[in-house]
C-alpha cells in the first residue's frame, strides 16, 4: 500500500521535473500517468520488474481506491466559490447559462464525432 | 475544561484538523445520499458538498484560506489521482487501441468547440475581459486550468471555480443529454464527459459504467495537453 502510493508519487515527481526541465506547457501528472503506464508495460515484458508495488495487484489496488473517490478531491477548490460571491452576484446568472450551453455543445460535438469516425472505420473494414 | 467556551472554537477553527474532518464527513454523507438515490444526476456529491461546506464557512465567518489550510491535503491528491488513471488505461488497453482514431479526431473537435464556444458566448453576454480569460480553460482539470489562467494574466482562483462549476454541470447533464439524443456507446459518452467536464465528469462516468470511466479518464488527460496549447491561440484570435 505505502510502496504503491510511493510509486505513484514518484511518477508524478519525475513528471513535474520533466515538464519543468523541458518547459512543456502541460501538467506534470499527465507525464506521470504516461510513465506509470510504461512501467506496467515493462513489467509485462520483464518478469524481473514484477515485484513490490508492480506485483499483480499492488499499484492497481491503490489507484482504484483513489479513483473511486475522485469527486472528493474537487471539493477544496470548489469551496473557493465563497471568495467569488460578489462577482457571482453581478455576473453569476450569465456565467451559469453560458457554461451550461458550452458544456452541452461540447458534450454533443465530442460524442457525435467519436461515433461518426468509429462508424466510418467499421464501414471501411466491411468493404475491404 | 477551559473557562472560556470560545477558546476551544478558537483553537479548532484555526487547526487543519477541523476543516479536513468537515470536508471528509460532509463528502461521506453526501456520497451516501447519492448512492441511496441510485446515483441520480442531481444528487451530485461535489455540488452538494461545496454548498454545505461553503455555508458552514460563511456562518462561522471562517476565511477560505483557513479552510484551505486543512483541505489542502485532499486537494493535493488531484495530482496522484491523475497518475492513477494509468491503471484503468492499462487494464482496458485493447479497447483503447481499437478506438484510437475516433478518440484523436473527437479530441481535436471537442477541444476547439469547448474553448471557442465559451469565449464567443462570454463576449456576446458582455462579460468583462478578465472574466472571459478565466473562463476560457474551464474544461480542463483544476490544476491545469489555474496554470493556463496564470499564464494569461487572469485570476487563477476564478478559473478554478469555473472549472468546478463546469464539471458539476457536465456531470449532471451528461446522462440525460446522451439518453435524450440516443447516444448509447459508452466509449463515446465517457470520452465526451472527460473532455467537457474533466475529473468531475470522469467521476460521474465511473459511477455509470467502468468502460465510460476509462474513456473519460483518457479524454481528461489528453484534453489537458491540447487545451493548454489551444487557449492562448484562441484568445489571440477571438478576443480583441
Q: What is the 3-class SS of B79-120, one letter each residue?
A: HHHHHHCHHHHHHCHHHHHHCHHHHHHHHHHHHHHHHHHHHH
Q: Is pLDDT above 90 for B14?
A: no
Which secondary-structure segment (H or E) carries A26?
Answer: none
What's the confidence (pLDDT) of residue B3? 60
Contact B82 A66 (CB under 8 A): no
Residue B2 confidence (pLDDT) above 70: no
Same domain (yes/no): A61, A99: no
B164/A78 touch (CB, cutoff 8 Å), yes or no: yes
Chain A contacts of B167, Cβ < 8 Å?
74
d(CA B104, CA B218): 11
A3 and A59 in a single domain? The answer is yes
- Check A77 against B141: CB less than 8 A apart: no
A125 shares its domain with A103: yes
More confident residue, B78 or A52: B78
Q: How far is B2 from chain A, CA to nearest CA, in Å?
A: 32
pLDDT, position A25: 66
Question: Does B221 contact A41 at a Cβ distance shorter than 8 Å?
Answer: no
Q: Mutation target for A interface from B44, B77, B82, B205: give the one with most A CBs within 10 A.
A: B82
8-state DSSP, A55: S
- Asked if residue A55 and residue A114 are part of one domain, the reply reads no
Q: Which of A44, A68, A92 marks a domain boundary?
A: A68
Q: Which domain holds residue A101?
A: 77-128
B-chain residues near A94 (CB < 8 A)? 125-127
CA pair distance A2, A21, nearest whole angstrom: 28
Whole-number Å distance between alpha carbons of B170 and B124: 22
State chain B's mean pLDDT as an integer: 89
Residue to test with chain B: of A29, A65, A68, A121, most B Cβ within 10 A: A29
Q: Is residue A91 domain-shared with residue A119, that is, in the same domain?
A: yes
Check if A36 contacts B (Cβ < 8 Å).
yes
The residue that leads in pLDDT, A123 or A27, is A123
Residue B39, SS3? Answer: coil
Which residue among B44, B163, B177 sits closest to A107, beta carbon to beta carbon?
B177
A53 vs A14: which has the higher pLDDT: A14
Portion 107-136 of B in contact with A at CB < 8 A? 107, 109-110, 113-114, 117-118, 121-122, 125-128, 131, 135
How many Å apart are CA A89 and CA A84, to the nearest integer? 9
**What's the rounded Cα separation, in Å, for the pair B171 and B62?**
29
Which residues lie closer than 8 Å to B179 by C-beta, 6 or more apart?
none
Q: Please say whether the beta carbons of B220 and B142 come within 8 A.
A: no
Q: Are residues A13 and A40 in the same domain?
A: yes
The closest CB to that of B229, out of A25, A100, A101, belongs to A25
A26 contacts on B by Cβ (under 8 Å): 144, 224-225, 228
Q: A75–B46: do the CB atoms touch at under 8 Å?
A: yes
Interchain CB distance below 8 Å, A107 and B121: no
Choice between B186 and B12, residue whose per-residue pLDDT is larger: B186
Q: Is residue B174 within 8 Å of residue B166, measured between CB atoms?
A: no
Model confidence band, residue B228 (pLDDT cutoffs 50, 70, 90): confident
Percent of the residues in chain B that have a pLDDT greater than 70, as a whole number: 98
The domain total for chain A is 2
Q: Is there a single domain that holds both residue A90 and residue A122?
A: yes
Domain final residue pick, A68, A93, A115: A68
Distances, alpha carbon B206 to alpha carbons A17, A46, A69, B221, in Å:
30, 31, 10, 15
Please judge whether B74 and A76 are an interchain contact, meaning their C-beta atoms are less than 8 angstroms apart: yes
pLDDT-based confidence at B240, cuts 50/70/90? low
Where in chain B are the domains?
A: 1-76, 82-240
- Are residues A101 and A55 part of one domain? no
Contact B110 A29 (CB under 8 A): no
Amino acid at each position: 500500500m505505502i510502496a504503491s502510493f510511493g510509486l505513484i508519487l514518484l511518477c508524478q515527481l519525475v513528471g513535474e521535473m520533466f515538464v519543468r526541465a523541458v518547459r512543456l506547457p502541460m501538467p506534470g501528472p499527465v507525464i506521470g500517468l504516461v510513465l506509470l503506464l510504461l512501467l506496467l508495460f515493462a513489467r509485462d515484458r520483464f518478469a524481473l520488474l514484477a515485484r513490490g508495488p508492480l506485483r499483480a495487484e499492488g499499484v492497481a489496488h491503490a489507484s482504484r481506491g483513489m479513483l473511486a473517490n475522485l469527486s472528493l478531491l474537487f471539493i477544496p477548490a470548489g469551496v473557493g466559490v465563497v471568495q467569488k460571491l460578489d462577482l457571482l452576484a453581478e455576473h453569476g446568472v450569465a456565467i451559469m447559462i453560458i457554461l451550461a450551453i458550452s458544456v452541452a455543445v461540447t458534450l454533443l460535438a465530442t460524442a457525435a464525432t467519436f461515433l461518426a469516425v468509429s462508424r466510418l472505420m467499421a464501414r471501411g473494414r466491411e468493404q475491404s | 475544561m477551559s473557562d472560556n467556551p470560545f477558546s476551544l472554537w478558537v483553537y479548532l477553527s484555526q487547526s487543519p484538523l477541523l476543516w479536513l474532518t468537515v470536508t471528509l464527513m460532509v463528502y461521506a454523507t453526501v456520497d451516501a445520499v447519492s448512492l441511496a438515490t441510485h446515483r441520480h444526476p442531481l444528487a451530485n456529491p461535489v455540488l452538494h458538498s461545496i454548498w454545505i461546506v461553503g455555508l458552514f464557512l460563511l456562518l462561522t465567518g471562517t476565511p477560505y484560506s483557513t479552510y484551505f489550510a486543512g483541505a489542502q491535503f485532499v486537494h493535493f491528491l488531484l495530482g496522484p489521482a491523475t497518475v492513477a488513471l494509468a491503471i484503468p488505461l492499462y487494464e482496458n488497453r485493447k479497447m483503447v487501441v481499437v478506438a484510437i482514431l475516433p478518440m484523436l479526431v473527437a479530441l481535436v473537435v471537442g477541444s476547439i468547440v469547448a474553448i471557442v464556444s465559451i469565449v464567443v458566448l462570454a463576449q456576446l453576454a458582455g462579460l468583462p475581459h478578465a472574466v472571459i480569460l478565466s473562463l476560457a480553460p474551464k474544461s480542463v482539470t483544476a490544476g491545469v486550468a489555474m496554470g493556463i489562467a496564470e499564464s494569461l494574466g487572469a485570476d487563477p482562483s476564478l478559473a478554478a471555480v469555473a472549472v468546478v462549476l463546469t464539471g458539476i454541470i457536465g456531470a449532471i447533464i451528461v446522462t440525460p443529454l446522451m439518453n435524450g439524443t440516443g447516444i448509447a456507446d459508452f466509449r463515446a459518452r465517457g470520452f465526451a464527459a472527460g473532455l467537457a467536464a474533466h475529473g468531475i465528469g470522469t467521476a460521474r462516468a465511473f459511477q455509470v459504467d467502468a468502460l465510460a470511466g476509462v474513456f473519460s479518464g483518457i479524454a481528461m488527460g489528453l484534453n489537458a495537453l491540447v487545451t493548454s496549447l489551444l487557449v492562448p491561440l484562441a484568445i489571440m484570435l477571438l478576443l480583441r
